[in-house]
Amino acid sequence: MNYHDEFKSRQAFADRLSILVKRHGGPTAFARRVGTSLSALRKWLRADAEPRRDSLIAITQATGVSLQWLAVGDEPDSGAGNATTNYVAMPSREVRLEENGRTKTLSSPRIVDYMTFKRDWVREYLGAEPEQILLVMAAGDDLPQGIAHGDLLLVNRGDQQVRENGIFAIDIEGEIALRRIQRKLDGTLIVTAGHPAYEREEVSPCGIESIGVVGRVIRVCRPVI
């Protein structure tokens, strides 16, 4: 195995380990749970090193996943390891989108760090592919009607064409903003925020790509007080 392949293997392991760490209370709690040091765990998560076999076994015993899945990523036909792979870890800190034929990275403090959902639930109840879901925390004074500060939004990045009216996450100079977008019969888009200080904008059919749609908001979650 050459250096490139070895690094990819370590990175793939780090990705699987990251899922487990975040599902079990974060790095400090996870290190305590499996009986390792926090510094060693951080090296594994950065793909700087891999754990020894005894540490791998400790991780599987503490989390219930299979050694096969943890070590090499293979999905067994049955067992606890399969339960973990049936979950998708929603991203995190960046979104990749196409803009004028080029791929760019959009970073925003409004993107939630981490949550997991069952893949089957995402497909069946949200009608979306799990890898296309982005979590965004609503914030600011420009939120569309129906969205409140602190709401957790599930955004489908696979729906960027504005075929139907709805609330969309859009890219405004590298920041994620929420706007209600209405399509008129002639194809013109009416883009509105939820604050009177923000003027309504009309975008012609030929200028739709300039909006920078990240995806459609398909679910709103808010705490029960």
CA 50 to chain CA centroid, Å, is 25
For residues 81 and 79, give the distance between their C-alpha atoms in angstroms, rounded to a whole number: 6
Paired with 213 in beta bridges are: 170
Confidence (pLDDT) at 90:
63
Whether the CB-CB separation of 126 and 153 falls below 8 Å is answered with no
Given a cut of 50, whether residue 158 has pLDDT beyond it is yes
Whether residue 172 has pLDDT greater than 70: yes
Give the residue from 48, 4, 5, 1 showing the smallest Cα distance to 17: 48
Domains and CATH numbers, the chain: 3-85 (1.10.260.40), 90-221 (2.10.109.10)
Categorize the per-residue pLDDT at 41 as very low, low, confident or very high, splitting at 50, 70 and 90. very high
More confident residue, 149 or 115: 149
Chain mean pLDDT for the chain: 77
> How buried is residue 118: exposed, middle or buried, by Cβ count under 10 Å (0-12/13-18/19+)?
middle
pLDDT of residue 93: 46
Instruction: Print burial letters for 41-77: b (CB count within 10 Å at least 16), e (below 16).
Output: beebbebeebbeeebbebbbeebebbeebbbeeeeee
pTM over 0.85: no
The predicted-structure confidence for 42-79, as pLDDT tens digits, reads as follows 999 988 888 988 888 888 878 878 787 888 776 543 34
pLDDT above 90 as % of the chain? 5
What is the reported pLDDT for 77?
36
